Amino acid sequence: MAIIQFIDGINETVVPEIKLTRSRDGSTGTATFKFYNPDIIQLNMQEAGNIQGMYLKDEEGELMTTDVSAKFANGKPKGIESIYVIKSPSEWDRFMRFMERYSENNDLAFTKAT
């Protein structure tokens, strides 16, 4: 099972919009996750703790980034954006294995940019 967490032990149920970019040689890339009204910013989650990062967890282990920022509208949190940087071909392969599992769990589809 592949899950995303912002606080250890609390699964995020809102499925993000995910955009991937990859260098021309395929060795590096970035994945930008945009969560609109995620569980973690709801009022009932204030006592759960502070967001330390975004954790991508599956049976192989955990991928993590601390590049997490909240998006606000009229002074109220509306979303979270997080960027995961992929630094090598082996990291790219590992990230894609996570995404395959996450996609299966959440009925996501990949659409290649034109």
Q: What is this structure's pTM?
A: 0.89
Burial classification of residue 80, based on how many CB atoms lie within 10 Å of its CB (0-12 exposed, 13-18 middle, 19 or more buried): buried
CA–CA dist 21, 31 (Å, integer): 7
The whole domain housing 16 covers: 3-91
- If one counts the domains in the chain, the total is 1
pLDDT digits (tens, 9 = 90+) for 33-87: 999 999 888 877 777 888 889 999 999 999 999 999 988 888 888 999 999 999 9
CATH number of the structural domain spanning residue 60: 2.40.30.220
Burial classification of residue 47, based on how many CB atoms lie within 10 Å of its CB (0-12 exposed, 13-18 middle, 19 or more buried): exposed
Judging by DSSP bridges, how do beta strands 29-36 and 76-86 pair with one another? antiparallel
Distance from chain centroid for Cα 105: 14
Answer yes or no: is 113 within a domain: no
